[in-house]
Amino acid sequence: MFSPEGPTLRELAVQALSSVERGYDLLAPKFDHTPYRTPDRLLDAAARALAPMGPFAAGLDLCCGTGAGVDVLARVCRERVTGVDFSAGMLEVARARTLPPAPAVSWVRADARALPFGPVFDLVVSFGAFGHFLPRELPGLFGRVRSVLRPGGCFAFPVVAPPRPGSAGYWTLLGFDAAMRVRNALWRPPFVMYYRTFRLGDVGRALSRAGFRADLHALPEFGRRPDGSPRVRLVVARRLGQAALSRPPAG
């Protein structure tokens, strides 16, 4: 899981006792050597799925970290790409990366819940960050994303199918979330990171309420589960017009 260049157990413990922002500031220099960085295999699959829907003009990587999603956007956006994150440490690592000359890339420090942009993007992507938001924050977050998209723009992110109840993966995630709840009950500042709170059904309803029409694209590179459902899907949510916001959500 962790390479020798990754953080030590002690470093991870200190990070986990910090706020999310401070924790990532501390982790930043070693972040790309941890399993928390989205793997290239998933980034490549997302880029392949998005390519036929583009090209897009301007793209935003929400909670960009060291820029994993910026690499995807650079492949499907023609004009400019922006990475936004609230960790100054993660952005410092991102800025030090060597990127191709086009499209132009910029990095902005901001909270995803208060994005400092108007409706200037055609595509917003996000990888590996939704566990940092409580379920009650999702409607507001999706509303902010909608507000930075041009009409008809897309919001895309992968969702991995949850592990089968009773499997090793199921107990691992359950144990992680339980430990995090105990940590957050006992320690301030909180470190919000839950694996089991971002559920496809809830996400679909929150997107619909925020004024999106969401489609699911199976990522064939990851195969299917024994019941035939895809292991990994790309949610592609298209920004609907203002009228969609006044209609009651479907379902």
Can residue 90 be called a binding residue for ligand SAM (CB under 6 A)?
yes
Can residue 81 be called a binding residue for ligand SAM (CB under 6 A)?
no
Can residue 82 be called a binding residue for ligand SAM (CB under 6 A)?
no
CB closer to ligand SAM out of 41 and 164: 41
Q: Which of residues 101-120 bind ligand SAM (CB under 6 A)?
A: 111-113
Can residue 20 be called a binding residue for ligand SAM (CB under 6 A)?
yes
Task: Tell me the C-alpha to C-alpha distance, in Å, between residue 194 and each of 41, 142, 173, 197, 209.
Answer: 23, 18, 8, 6, 23
Q: Which of 59, 103, 128, 153 binds ligand SAM (CB under 6 A)?
A: 128
Can residue 64 be called a binding residue for ligand SAM (CB under 6 A)?
yes
Can residue 145 be called a binding residue for ligand SAM (CB under 6 A)?
no
The interface mask with ligand SAM, positions 163-202, x = CB under 6 A, is ----------------------------------------
Tell me the sheet residues that pair with 84: 62, 108
In this structure, are residues 187 and 13 in contact, taking their beta carbons and an 8 Å threshold?
A: no
Can you give the C-alpha Rg of the chain in angstroms?
Answer: 18
CB closer to ligand SAM out of 88 and 245: 88
CB closer to ligand SAM out of 7 and 69: 69
Find the angle CA(136)-CA(60)-CA(113) to the nearest 5 degrees: 25
Q: Which of 7, 60, 71, 85 binds ligand SAM (CB under 6 A)?
A: 85
Residues in the interface with ligand SAM (CB under 6 A) total: 21
CB closer to ligand SAM out of 7 and 65: 65
In this structure, are residues 5 and 27 in contact, taking their beta carbons and an 8 Å threshold?
A: no
Tell me the sheet residues that pair with 58: 80
To the nearest 10°, report the CA torsion of 110, 71, 236, 197: -60
Of 154, 100, 152, the residue nearest 126 (C-alpha): 154
Query: Which residues, in sequence order, are CB contacts of 42 under 8 Å at separation 6+?
Result: 127, 158, 219, 222, 232
Binding footprint of ligand SAM on the chain (CB under 6 A): 20, 24, 36-38, 63-65, 68-69, 85-87, 90, 111-113, 127-129, 132
